[in-house]
Amino acid sequence: MNVIYDNIVYSLQNIGGISIYWCELTKRLLKEAEVNSFFIETGLEKDNLCRRNLEIREQNTLTRNLINLQIERFIAVRTVFNALDKGTSIFHSSYFRLPLKRDRKNLKIVSTVHDFTHNYYFKGYRGYLHNSLKYKSIKGSDAVICVSEHTKRDLINFYPDIDPSRVKVIYNGVSEEFKILEADNNVNSDRYILFVGSRVNYKNFEYAVKLVKELRDMVLYVVGSPFTKEELIMLNKCVSLSRVKLFSNVSNSFLNELYNRAYALIYPSSYEGFGIPLLEAMRSGCVPIAFNSSSIPEVMGNAGILLDSLDIDEGLTAIEKVDQKRESLVKLGLERSSHFSWDLTFKATVDLYKDIL
């Protein structure tokens, strides 16, 4: 079986959930004896933290000379490899691109949809361009992967003309690097609430800050991009900056340590297509406190504390419950997260490839 991966996502972000997903699929694809794997790249992947760890043979890579990265996202791509065997191949893009029409005769096309944040939260030119690109990719695919049942429901809601039988739910996995560590009494003694990931508006980062403001004996640890000027103003207004610590571009091993030592993970996002940090936290023995919205209860189950509103008093009550129920919640988290793995994700994805060939 020939499989062509379009690695455009590595040029669009340095790190992120989609890069992690694509990297985990690729690592397994490269080891699959029954698959001949080929890759389309832009030449701008070097800054991506996931791509750095992949050993892809140059002879199996087609690098396109870029005109402009933002234009490139909307351009159909060549899929002509001299080493391709005759017969039908799979084309799977990391971020909503399609092959040239002249190449599609011997291709089956797969797209993965991670969420519908742009449909809900981004209006104007940016939202229109992204949603047009996504719809075109979905419409032109032989099969569409959604990372949760909630995301599939969103797809059917936004695009009712898409045949639901072409849409397959394949859950994300979680890295085995996340695990419970032995206690270390010599580590930093901070008692902290952990916030992981993007801080765009619907992630409700300010709620986490206001919650920690009321927890006088705790600080807030943040894993993500550097604070913006507006965020620094908000932080100065709500809490002393001495009660906030930022960590950027961290390794999985260090992030695992942060989960292990945290009092809890705070995940107040209003919308998630999946929510990988929830699984990372649960595998690490960290109790997640999350907003009861979108795919979050589908992923977390009863292995954490769900907030029915972003009310500070409700958050403070949840913090109290963590200590009261920590042992049982950690056990539930370990059991729940054991149902998700990248091996399962990859196997289901390859099974889908075989089904449509």
How does residue 87 score in pLDDT terms, banded at 50, 70 and 90? confident
Q: Higher confidence at residue 81 or residue 82?
A: 81
Distances 82 to 85, 184, 320 between C-alpha atoms, Å: 8, 54, 62
Which pLDDT score is estimated for 207? 98
Q: What mean pLDDT comes out for the span 97-123?
A: 94
Q: What is the pLDDT of residues 318-337, one digit of tens each?
A: 999 999 999 999 999 999 99
Question: What pLDDT is recorded for position 186?
Answer: 52
Spatial neighbors of 206 by CB under 8 A, at least 6 apart, are 234, 238
Q: Give mean pLDDT, residues 201-215.
A: 97
d(CA 7, CA 304): 35
Distance CA 137, CA 19 (A): 18
Amino acid, res. 116: F
CATH of domain 2-173+341-356: 3.40.50.2000
In this predicted structure, the answer to whether residue 84 has a pLDDT above a threshold of 90 is no
pLDDT over threshold 70, residue 187: no
Q: Calculate mean pLDDT across residues 78-99.
A: 89
| pLDDT confidence of residue 311 | 97
Residue 245 or residue 64, greater confidence: 245
Using DSSP's 3-state secondary structure scheme, residue 236 falls into helix
Least reliable range by pLDDT among 82-86, 144-148, 182-186, 199-203:
182-186
Strand stretches in 177-258, DSSP E: 192-196, 219-223, 244-247
DSSP of 80-144, one letter per residue? --TTPPSS-EEEEESSS--B-GGGGGGEEEEEEE---HHHHH--HHHHHHHHHHHHHHHHT-SEE
CA nearest 98: which of 144, 59, 52? 144
Do the domains at 2-173+341-356 and 192-337 have one common CATH topology?
yes
Average pLDDT (249-264) is 95
Q: How far apart, in whole angstroms, are the C-alpha atoms of residue 6 and residue 8? A: 6
- Mean pLDDT over each residue of the chain, to the nearest integer: 93
pLDDT for the residue numbered 185: 55
Instruction: Determine contact, residues 342/174, Cβ cutoff 8 Å.
Output: yes
Residues 6+ apart with CB under 8 A from 64: 40, 41, 42, 43, 72, 77, 78
Residue 270 — very low, low, confident or very high, per pLDDT cuts 50/70/90?
Answer: very high
pLDDT of residue 151: 98
Are 115 and 272 spatial neighbours (Cβ–Cβ below 8 Å)?
Answer: yes
Please spell the DSSP secondary structure of 1-55, one letter per residue.
-EEEEE-THHHH-SS-HHHHHHHHHHHHHHH-TT-EEEEEE-S-GGG-TTGGG--
3-state DSSP assignment of residue 305? strand
Q: Do residues 147 and 274 touch, judged by C-beta distance below 8 A?
A: yes
The share of the chain scoring above pLDDT 70, in percent, equals 98
pLDDT at 80 over 90: no
What is the per-residue pLDDT for 73? 83
Position 140 pLDDT exceeds 90: yes
Could you tell me the fold of the domain covering 192-337?
Rossmann fold (3.40.50)
- How would residue 71 be classed by pLDDT, with cut points 50, 70 and 90? confident
Return the domain boundaries, the chain: 2-173+341-356, 192-337
314 alpha carbon, distance to own chain's centre: 27
- Residue 222 scores a pLDDT above 90: yes
90, two tokens: 């799979």
Q: Which helix (H) or strand (E) holds 300?
A: helix 296-300
Give per-residue pLDDT as tens, 295-311: 999 999 999 999 999 99
Q: Model confidence over 144-186: pLDDT tens digits?
A: 999 999 999 999 999 999 999 999 999 999 999 999 998 765 5
CB 4 within 8 A of CB 92: yes
Residues 6+ apart with CB under 8 A from 308: 292, 314
> Could you tell me the pLDDT band of residue 228, with boundaries at 50, 70 and 90?
very high
pLDDT band at 16 (very low <50, low <70, confident <90, very high): confident
pLDDT at 15: 86
